[in-house]
Structure 1
Amino acid sequence: MHSRPVGTVTRGTTGHNRLRRVDRWLTATQGHRLRCAVDPLVVDLGYGAHPATAVELFTRLRAVAPRTEVVGLEIEPDRVRRALPLRRTGLDFRLGGFEVPLPGRRPVLLRAFNVLRQYPVDEVPGHWDLLRSRLGPGGLAVDGTCDELGRRATWVTLDADGPVSLTLSAKFTAVERPSDVAERLPKVLIHRNVPGEAVHRFLQAFDRCWEEAAAVASFGRRQRFLHACAAMRRAGWPLLDSPARWRLGEVTVAWSAVAPADG
C-alpha cells in the first residue's frame, strides 16, 4: 500500500473540449465494457488544474452507459479541493496517482491524458505496469497526448497483458499529411520516429498512401484519408478499425506494428 500518491506534479494545463477525440473513441468503441460491467468504474488520472475534461468524460460516458461512475484523480491536493464543488452522483474527485487508490474497486477504463508525456521516458514502463495492475477484469487503460486545442491526438491502449494498439486522430484541416501527428505521439514513441524504428516506417508508409490518394483529393480530405487507410490495409498494416472510424480522421493500428525496436 502506497502512503502517498505515486507520481510527480505536472503542469496541469487543460481546457474545455480538449479531449473530445479520445472521449468520442471511448464512447463509441468501449461503451460496451461499461454496459456489461458489474461495477462500471472509470478513472480519469491527472485531470489537471481544472476538472473540465473529467466532467465532460462523465457526461459523455453516461450518455452511452448510464450506470457509469467516474473518479478523477489528481496528485496535487489544491486541484482536488477546487474540483470538489463539481461532485455529483456518479462523479467524484480524490487525491491519488498511478497507484489508483480506490480500495475494493478496479476501473473498467482508465484515461491518463497529457500526463506521462511530462515524465522521463524510462519511467513510463513502470507506470504502465502499475496502471495495468489496477485494472479490473477485461479493463483497458489509455495513455495519450493531444495538442492544446485537441485537434491532433494519439493514444496507446493497454490491457492486463501490455500495450494493445496505437490510435491517431486529427481534424482534417489541422494536418497536411498523416505524419503531422508525430509531434503528439505518446512519450514512448515520440523519440522513436526515426529511421530504423517501426513507428517511423508506419508513418512514412501512411504518407506514401496519402500521396497516392491525391487523385481523390478533389472530393475532400475525408475521402482522401479513407483511401489512404484502405491502401494501408491492403499493404498489410494491421489496422484494427473500420471506415466508420476512418471517416472521423481516426485510425488504430496494432501495437506490434509500431512498438519500439528494443521492446
Structure 2
Amino acid sequence: MPPRPLPRPLGTVTRGTTHRNRLRRQDRWIAAALGGALRAADDPAVVDLGYGAAPWTAVELLARLRAVAPRTEVTGVEIDPARVAAALPFERPGLRFLHGGFEVPLPGGRRPLLIRAANVLRQYAEDEVPAAWARLTSRLAPGGLLVEGTCDEIGRRHVWVALGPEGPRTVTFAARLGGLGRPSDLAERLPKALIHRNVPGEPVHAFLRDFDRAWASAAAYAPLGARQRWSAAVRELAADWPLVGGGRRGRPGEVTVGWAALAPRGR
C-alpha cells in the first residue's frame, strides 16, 4: 500500500521578499519582551513562520534571542517546499527548517513560546485575519506570544501586533527616525487588521492624527535631534493614549499602545 500523502499545509505562498536585518527592530523588541520567559522555559521553542525566499530572518532571530536566552531554539516554517530545501544548508544546532503553514507542525507535539509571522498576513483579506490569529495562538505554549506585523523592504518602518491566547494585546510602531517625515508615515505598514481602518472615525486614524500633532508640537526639539523630538512627542501622546509604560519604555523610534485603544470599530 502506498504511503498516505501528507496533509496540505494551511495558508498560501507569500511573495517571499526578504533582506538581511529586515526584522531587526522586531527581533530586539521580542528579545526584551520575551527574554525572561525564554530563559525560564523548559522548552524555549520559537517559530519564524513564513520566513520567505531566504532564511536570513530565522538566522538573525536565533542570534538575537540567544544573546538573552542561550537555550532558545528557532524553527523556520515555510509553505513553499523549495524555500525549505534552499534553507537546509543553514541549519545548525538550535536552528532548523520545516515545510508547513498555519498549523505550525513542530515535531513531537512541541508548542512554541513565540510564533513570529512577519509580512505573512498582508496578502490575506481583512476578514481572514481573526481566524489566522486564533489558529496560531492556539498552537502557543502557556505564556506564549504571537507577533504579527508588516515592515518595509529594508526594515526602516514596522508595525506589529502582539497577541496571547486571549487575543491581541498591544500594537508597536517602530521606525528609523532619520528620514521620517511624521509618525503617520508608518500608516503604510499597518498590519492587515488595521491598514484598511486608517480612515476618519476609526481609532487607529485618530491615534496617528494625534501622534502627528504631538510631533508638530515637539518641533522645538528638532535641533537636538530626531530622537529628542520623538521622545517629546511620545510624552505628549501619553496624556491621551494608553502607551505601555506611559511612553517611558522602549527604544527611540518605538512606541507601544494597548490594542483595545486601536481595535477596529465593531470588533
TM-score after normalising by structure 1: 0.96
Give 1:223 shift.
0.6
Match of 1:86 in 2: 90
Aligned positions of 1:153-232 closer than 5 A: 153-232=158-237
Tell me the alpha carbon deviations over residues 161-198 of structure 1, each in whole angstroms, 9 at most, x when there is no partner.
00001000000013111111000000010110000000
Deviation at 1:224, TM superposition (A): 0.8
1:190-228, Cα deviation, whole Å (9 max, x unpaired): 110000000001110111111111122211111111011
Q: CA offsets per residue over residues 92-120 of structure 1, 9 Å max, x none? A: 00011011112421110110001100111
Q: Using the alignment, how far apart are the partners of 2:80 and 2:242 within structure 1?
A: 40
| Matching residue within 68, 75, 84 for 2:72 | 68
Whether 2:262 is the aligned partner of 1:258: answer: yes
Tell me the distance in 2 between the aligned counterparts of 1:62 and 1:238: 31
In 1, distance between residues paired with 2:233 and 2:88? Answer: 46
Check conservation: 1:152, 1:174, Cα contact below 8 A. Answer: no
Cα-to-partner distance string for 1:17-64 (whole Å, 9 max, x where unaligned): 111110111112221110111110000000000001110101111111
CA RMSD of aligned residues (A): 1.1
Aligned partner of 2:220: which letter?
A: A
CA distance in 2, matches of 1:224, 1:250: 12
Aligned with residue 47 of structure 1, among 39, 44, 51 = 51
Task: Give SS of 2:15's match.
Answer: coil
User: Is 1:143 the equivalent of 2:140?
Assistant: no
1:12 matches 2:16: yes
SS at match of 1:11: coil
Name the stretch that deviates more: 75-84 or 215-224. 215-224
Alpha-carbon separation, structure 1, partners of 2:69 and 2:215:
36
Contact 1:42 1:109 (C-alpha < 8 Å) held by counterparts: yes
Match of 2:3 in 1: none
Task: Check whether the contact 2:230–2:252 (CA below 8 A) recurs between aligned residues.
Answer: no
Unaligned 5+ runs, structure 2: 1-5
Question: Scaled by the length of structure 2, what TM-score is found?
Answer: 0.95
